[in-house]
Amino acid sequence: MGASVQLRSIDMDLKKEIERLSGQKLDACYLCGKCSAGCPVAPYQDIPPHVVMRMAQWGSKKVLGSKMIWNCASCGTCYTRCPNNIDVARVCGALSQISRREGLVADKVAATLREKFVESVKNNGRVHELSLVVAMKMASRDYLGDLDIGIPMFLKGKFPLFGHKIKDLNNFQKLFDSKKKGDK
């Protein structure tokens, strides 16, 4: 995916959806590039964050197929330095949600991490790290990688076989049906 975007018109529906899910004002971005200059993961991605912002401003569907939106590490460097107070990680988060819904996920392993993490939280109230690690090893097909680390950790009791389930799981799970602004 190149850095230049050619579009005839702005897809306002997509743009509004990104703004709603991210809580960020996309037009506040004037493309100074500070986010990309400081982004630790940008050198390893297809497009840098300020290009994500530009494509989001245009409501370009192409951005939904980018790897960058899945690999944002939420480090907060861009948000810290943005002269216009935009949390770019939230924009990447919103885009990844839409990309999943539309079946345009460019990094399936990153999507699995998110899915398994949230599943573990929802089912137990807390994350069970061992289940998550095993799921990630399966997803990335790195079955034997890091066994030299994992086995000693297991032996030190750092990977308990069973996770802790919270007591009030029933009420906790109600929180996943969170009300939105405008809901009745």
Partner 1 sequence: MPAYAYFPGCSLEASAKEFDTSFRAVFDKIGVGLKEIPDWSCCGSSQVHKVDKDVATAIAGRNLVLASDIGDIVAPCAFCSISLKEAIIKLEHEGPIRSTLIEAGLEYLPGSVSVISAVEATYRAVEEGLIDGKVQSPLTGLKVAAYYGCLLVRPPKIAQFDDPENPSSMERIMVAVGAAPVDWSHKTECCGNAYIFVNKDMTLNLVRDVLNAAIEANADAVVTACPLCQQNLAMRQPHMKQNYGLKREIPVLYFTQLMGAAMNIDGQQLGLSGNIVRLINKRQQEAKEVG
- Does 167 sit near partner 1 (CB under 8 A)? yes
CA–CA gap between residue 62 and residue 99 (Å, rounded): 10
Residue whose CB is less far from partner 1, 6 or 161: 161
- Single residue of 36, 93, 105, 106 touching partner 1 by CB under 8 A: 93
Q: Read out DSSP for 81-106? A: H-TT---HHHHHHHHHHHHHHTT--S
- Does 40 sit near partner 1 (CB under 8 A)? yes
Contact letters (x/-) for partner 1, 57-76, by CB under 8 A? -------------xx-xxxx
- Does 121 sit near partner 1 (CB under 8 A)? yes
Q: Report the b/e string of 152-168 with b at 16+ CB within 10 A.
A: eeeeeeebeeebeeeee
Q: How far is CA 122 from CA 71, 89, 98, 115, 125, in A?
A: 23, 23, 21, 10, 6
Binding site for partner 1 (CB under 8 A): 21-23, 40-41, 44, 70-71, 73-77, 79-80, 87, 89-90, 92-93, 96-97, 107, 109-110, 113-114, 117-118, 121, 125-130, 133, 136-137, 140, 142, 145-146, 149, 153, 157-160, 164, 166-168, 171-172, 174-181, 183
